[in-house]
Structure 1
Amino acid sequence: MPRTSGPRTWATSPFMFGKRRDIEWKPVVHEGQQADLRAAVLQHQVVMQIRHVMHERGMTNDADLAAPTGLSVSQIGRVLRGQSAMTFNTLTAIEVALRTSLVRPAGAGGSDSTDK
């Protein structure tokens, strides 16, 4: 599985990326692919949260999210569909636009063994 192929290629049904919580994932063939698969799963989970918040706020398309982020509609669409990897800058722009936290850093609001 090439890194440049986008996170959705790890899904057995790529068109379901970011649309259904219970999608299945392709198996890791080489040990070095484990991080890529984990990143794809995490992006899928974050996209599911984004879509939930968008639905709650009456945002019906990618343009509704793109405008307040300052990102292009096509860039938002590629990230939400899993065609491109989500960067931390994109994630934080979306969080600011939605006025919500989608990812809680380790140690934020609770104890975490890595903080000790």
Structure 2
Amino acid sequence: MAPPVHITFLGGLGEIGRNCAVLELEGRMVVLDCGQMFVDDHYPGVNSVLPDFTYLLDNADRVEGIIATHCHEDHIGGLPHLLPDLQVPVYGSAFTLGMVRGKLEQEDLDFKP
């Protein structure tokens, strides 16, 4: 029997934004998207909300990379907040990676495609 694949959602369920999931197989982890959620006027002073990265940071040695499915902010907007603490490659289409590169350069962060 094939080993089970575990999927853990860190955001994006029951809401628009914060899309982030972790796929786990045999102790190895891949992150699927790392988005942010924009908030409305009900949260004065708050510009965006991020997924809870605690699980990823606690298991950083098992994370092999991040797959960015496309370049909407709800799928890549959290990368500048996660990548300084989780040095892993980011995978995606050439267009998406170009947008990720621009986003990270705005924050003076290195980019590892």
Q: How would you bin the TM-score normalised by the shorter chain? A: under 0.3
Give TM-score scaled by structure 1 length: 0.26
Report the structure, 1 or 2, having the larger strand content: 2
Q: Which has the larger radius of gyration?
A: 1
Bigger relative CO (Cα 8 Å, ≥ 6 apart)? 1
If each structure's helix is expressed as a fraction of its own residues, which one has the higher value? 1
